[in-house]
Amino acid sequence: MLTYIIRRLIGALAMLIVISMVTFGIFYIVPQWAGATPEALASRYVGRAATPETVHLVAQKLGFYDPVVVQYGRFVKGLVAGAEYDYGAGVEQCPAPCFGYSFISGQPVWPDLLDRLPVTFSLAIGAAIIWVLAGIGVGVLSALRRGSFFDRLSMGTALAGVSLPIFFTGMITLVIFSYGLGWTAPGGAYTAFLDNPAQWAYNLLLPWITLAFLFAAGYARLTRAGMLETMGEDYIRTARAKGLREREVIVKHGLRAALTPILTLFGIDFGLLIGGAVLTETTYTLPGLGQYAILAIRNQDLPQVMGVVLIAALFVVIASLVVDLLYAVVDPRVRLS
């Protein structure tokens, strides 16, 4: 088991290195291949009224004339040990992890990401709990009652959940439950969990349900398919022949074996949501990483966009690593291999 964990940790570290290379290439090398000069890159760090001599000087001090390997090494050093930015008038110290300074506000990107991360994490963790419990529960019941009215109704609802875009269901739920009935908070409201847990949950209830409706649909269909396949296996008949209770046969033997693909899907979905639930946060105007990314793209704020990309990739890798370790818990064959 220890060897398995070490292999997965090494694989996760290698993946992070590859992601850093790809991200650096997209934001720094590809523009140069497309014809962008070092002065064009440096012009984003100075005002529009800067003279060509000033832009050229900033490009030199930021290292845009250096070889690609040197620039990438400086980029990685900024992430793990901080960086120094010399703009001519003085040297700016950017502590690790340094994603640079915003073109618009001139402030470090990392504190902005930290401020918005709790909003995105709150949205993701609440919705994930709902969609996992609802999706797996409905999927198991549909598999056990195959062909019944409940099975047809639940799978039809799941199909609608997968098909309807999140911004459509989000606007419909806002109109009905918030503006019409007044049961939930309107969009844009967020309260920190430590300040008021009840208000925190009340403000996020509608985004949780809307987001969970989209994901629970896929989990219900996947669980149903996995349970139908698993419940027909020989070891299920053997478990029943041994006199085990039906609940134990379903949960311990049937559902446990069907959880492997669900874990894989959950790791990817949850990691992506932590990186920013763009459509949900935009629909409900929540100040999370998703809305932050949209504003950064609109403003063409390169450091902010790059920061969101790296944070999203980091959480996807972490979620995948956790899922790989959970495989050994859910499926003993992984430990034996």
Average pLDDT over residues 69-91: 78
Torsion over CA of 30, 33, 39 and 41, rounded to 10 degrees? -10
HSE-CB of 221 using CA atoms within 13 angstroms: 15
| Residue whose tokens read 């009905």 | 176
List, for residues 15-37, the tens digit of each pLDDT value: 888 988 888 888 878 877 777 77
Chain centre to alpha carbon of residue 303: 19
Average pLDDT over residues 71-78: 86
Tell me the two tokens of residue 310. 């790296």
Tell me the two tokens of residue 297. 């793209």
Lowest mean pLDDT among 88-97, 195-204, 245-254: 88-97
Average pLDDT over residues 162-187: 79
For the cut 60, the answer to whether the pLDDT of residue 335 exceeds it is no
Query: CA 287, CA 85: separation in Å to the nearest integer?
Result: 29
For the cut 70, the answer to whether the pLDDT of residue 197 exceeds it is yes
Average pLDDT over residues 273-278: 74
Longest dimension (CA), the chain: 85
More confident residue, 111 or 253: 111
- Transcribe 30-78 into DSSP letters: HHHHTT--HHHHHGGGS-TT--HHHHHHHHHHTTTTS-HHHHHHHHHHH
List, for residues 293-330, the tens digit of each pLDDT value: 888 888 878 888 888 888 888 888 888 888 877 776 76
Q: What is the pLDDT of residue 334?
A: 58
Give the model's confidence band at 87: pLDDT under 50 very low, under 70 low, under 90 confident, else very high.
low
State how far the alpha carbon of 310 is from the alpha carbons of 69, 105, 228, 303, 314, in Å.
Answer: 19, 20, 39, 11, 6
More confident residue, 64 or 219: 219
Q: What is the pLDDT of residue 48?
A: 67
Average pLDDT over residues 74-84: 84
Query: CA 150, CA 162: separation in Å to the nearest integer?
Result: 18
Average pLDDT over residues 89-110: 79
- Transcribe 167-196 into DSSP letters: HHHHHHHIIIIIIIS--SPPTT----TTT-
- Model confidence pTM above 0.85: no
| Position 153, amino acid | L
Nearest to 129 by CA among 139, 121, 140: 121
Give the model's confidence band at 174: pLDDT under 50 very low, under 70 low, under 90 confident, else very high.
confident
Task: Please say whether the beta carbons of 27 and 41 come within 8 A.
Answer: no
The percent of residues in the chain predicted with pLDDT above 70, rounded, is: 92
For the cut 60, the answer to whether the pLDDT of residue 90 exceeds it is yes
Q: What is the pLDDT of residue 7?
A: 83
Average pLDDT over residues 175-201: 81
For the cut 70, the answer to whether the pLDDT of residue 131 exceeds it is yes
* 101 three-class SS: strand
For the chain, percent helix, then strand, then coil, each to nearest 5? 75, 5, 25
For the cut 60, the answer to whether the pLDDT of residue 88 exceeds it is no
Q: What is the pLDDT of residue 1?
A: 67
| Residue whose tokens read 């985004």 | 207
